[in-house]
Amino acid sequence: MGERVVWIIICVVLAAALVYVVNRQQMPLPADAGLYSAELGNLEAKIDSMRIVIDEMQDALQSRDYDSGSSTDTVPAGPRVSGETGALLQYEIRQFQNLGLENPEEDILRDLFNNPQLIPHEGVLGGTMRFHSMDDLKLINGSWAYARYEDGHITGEMLLEYQVGRNGTISWSVIRAANL
């Protein structure tokens, strides 16, 4: 008789566990489940967007023109300079346009041209250091620029880092500058 009681208790416990599992599966989702679903959709869209950018970057890297005589282990000489081949890659242009720059390469160089206070050297003999022309400014890539400056007596050059923020604001940092 004692053995029957044990088996009855085991059957009751298993039946209760089965009822619990079935009821748990039929319970409605919490009220904030819709928020999680929407957030998941947003994250999936961002992932898809990033995959597109990655694919475009890979295509750009594969389609670069290299000297036919150069080894595949070497990097082509010289930086990408605006005005020659376009310093910004397509994804960088789109990124800067999304941040508010209408024509990113021109807008960045014009902003640099209009900020001669970035030149860390003082003019001599009454001269004022400035960027002589837009031709003296070059974008190297999506983060760096090169500039030549002068005061009419001495010339210098500098390497700058830039960042484009929201509303197209551009912030500059001088990496290195030297008078020639």
The Cα 3–Cα 99 span in angstroms is 76
The Cα 167–Cα 111 span in angstroms is 14
Give the model's pLDDT for residue 30.
Answer: 61
Mean pLDDT of the chain: 77
pTM to 2 decimal places: 0.52
3-state secondary structure of 130: strand
Q: Are 106 and 139 in contact (CB under 8 A)?
A: no
Pick out the chain residues at pLDDT < 70: 24-36, 53, 60-85
